[in-house]
Amino acid sequence: MTQEHPFAGFIRILGKGKKGTRDLTREEAADAMQMILQGKVEPEQLGAFLMLMRVKEESAGELTGFADAVRETIQAPPLAVDLDWATYAGKRRRHPWYVLSALALASSGERVFMHGSQGHTAERLYAQQVVEALGLPVAESWDDVSDQLDQHSFAYMPLEAMSPVLGRLMTLKPILGLRSPVHTLSRMLNPLHARCAIDGVFHPPYGPKHQQTAMLLGTPRNLTLKGDGGEAEARPDSESHALWMLEGELSEQQWPRLVPRRLVRDEEMTLEAVVQLWRGEIEHEYGTAAVISTIAISLKLLGRGDDPALLFIEAEKIWQARNHSLSS
C-alpha cells in the first residue's frame, strides 16, 4: 500500500464536503504554505488545494498562517518603513494614479515600500509599469530596497523577487480560471512590518477578512480600501468604502468625494499621461483629484489627522510640493 503524502491531510480537511470541511488552523495553514514554498507538494495537490480553498473562501486565520510562513521564508531585513503599499489588481478603466500618491508621500518624507505583481490579468496597467516609465528602479533584492528607500524614500519590489514561488502562483489564474488565495495573501504580507499598511479590495465581502488578518498579524494601523478597480485609490468623484483597523479597533467609513460631480472617464489609458501629470506637464482633473484624495486618506492612516476636509488641504500641499525630479 502506498504511503499517504504528508500534504494530503490538508486537502482532506478542505475537501470533506459541506459537513466535514473546516478551516485550517493558523498553524496548519502555516505548515501547508511552508510545504508549498519549499516545493514539497505535487502539482495535482497544489491545484486541488488552491481551488478547494477558493471554493471554501480563505479565513482570516488561514491568511494569517499563510503570511507567517511567507514572512519566515523570505527573511526580510529590519528596514525602517512608514507605509506598506500592496498593489496587485492592476487598473482596467482608469489610470493607476495611486502610484503618484505614494511617490508624493515619499517626496514629503514618508518611507513607502510598495510591492505588487503585473501581467496576471490582460489589458490592465500595473504599478510596476508606472515605476519603470518614471525611470525609477525596480528592486530585485532587499539590498536594492534598502538603497532605494534611503535614496528616494520609496521602493517597489515585484512579488516574484520577494518570493519566486508566490510570483509563480500569481500567474496561475489563466490556467485555473479563478483567482487563488495568493491574490489576497500577497496584499496582507507587509513583509517589512511597517506600522501602517494599505491595500485595495474589489469584492466587498473580502474587506473584513483583510481587517481581521491585519489585526492577527499585529499590524498597528491598516486600511483596506474599496476604491477604484481593486487598488488602494480613493475615488475623487464618489464615495470610497474604507475599512480601518487602527490600533486593534475595527471600523468602516464612507470616505467623502473631493469633486462634487462625476468626471468622464478617459477613452484610453496611457503610461505617458501618468508620467506627464507627475512632472506637471499636463493638467488632468480626475487624475489630480484622485491623487489628492488618495494622499488624504493615507494621511489619516499615518495618524496625521481625522477630518477629511483638513486632510484634503494638507494632501494638496503635499502634491504641489512634490519633488518632480524624484523619478529622474
Instruction: Give a yes or no: residue 210 inside a domain.
Output: yes
Same domain, 91 and 145: yes
CATH assignment of the domain containing 139 = 3.40.1030.10
Same domain, 272 and 213: yes
**Residue 266 domain boundaries:** 83-327
Same domain, 45 and 129: no
Same domain, 192 and 64: no
Same domain, 67 and 93: no
What are the cell numbers at 199?
A: 491595500
Task: Show which of 74, 95, 125 is a domain's final residue.
Answer: 74
Residue 219's pLDDT is 97
> In 10 A of CB 157, how many CB atoms?
23
Same domain, 160 and 65: no
Is the pTM here over 0.85, yes or no? yes
Instruction: Give a yes or no: residue 2 inside a domain.
Output: no
Residue 1's pLDDT is 47
Same domain, 105 and 49: no
Instruction: Give a yes or no: residue 90 inside a domain.
Output: yes
Alpha helices by DSSP H, listed for 23-118, are 26-37, 43-56, 60-74, 98-107
Same domain, 192 and 65: no
Q: How wide is the angle at C-alpha 28 spanned by C-alphas 223 and 36, nearest 5°? A: 85
CA dist 105 and 58 (Å) reads: 33
Same domain, 69 and 146: no
Instruction: Give a yes or no: residue 1 inside a domain.
Output: no
Same domain, 276 and 318: yes
Residue 17's pLDDT is 81
Same domain, 114 and 47: no
CA-closest candidate to residue 189, choices 244, 129, 116:
116
N-terminal to C-terminal alpha carbon distance within the chain: 64
Block mean pLDDT (10 aa), the chain, length 328:
88 88 96 97 95 93 98 96 96 94 98 90 87 97 98 97 95 85 94 98 89 97 92 96 96 95 86 96 96 98 97 98 74
In one-letter notation, the amino acid at residue 91 is K
Instruction: Give a yes or no: residue 194 inside a domain.
Output: yes
Q: How wide is the angle at C-alpha 11 spanned by C-alphas 10 and 17, nearest 5°? A: 120
CATH assignment of the domain containing 28 = 1.20.970.10
Same domain, 232 and 264: yes
Task: Show which of 50, 74, 98 is a domain's final residue.
Answer: 74
Instruction: Give a yes or no: residue 3 inside a domain.
Output: no
Instruction: Give a yes or no: residue 306 inside a domain.
Output: yes
List the strands of the sheet with 154-158, edge to edge.
154-158, 112-116, 83-87, 196-200, 221-226, 240-246, 249-255
> In 10 A of CB 26, how many CB atoms?
19
Task: Show which of 74, 109, 130 is a domain's final residue.
Answer: 74
Number of domains the chain contains: 2
Q: Are 165 and 183 in contact (CB under 8 A)?
A: no
> In 10 A of CB 314, how many CB atoms?
17
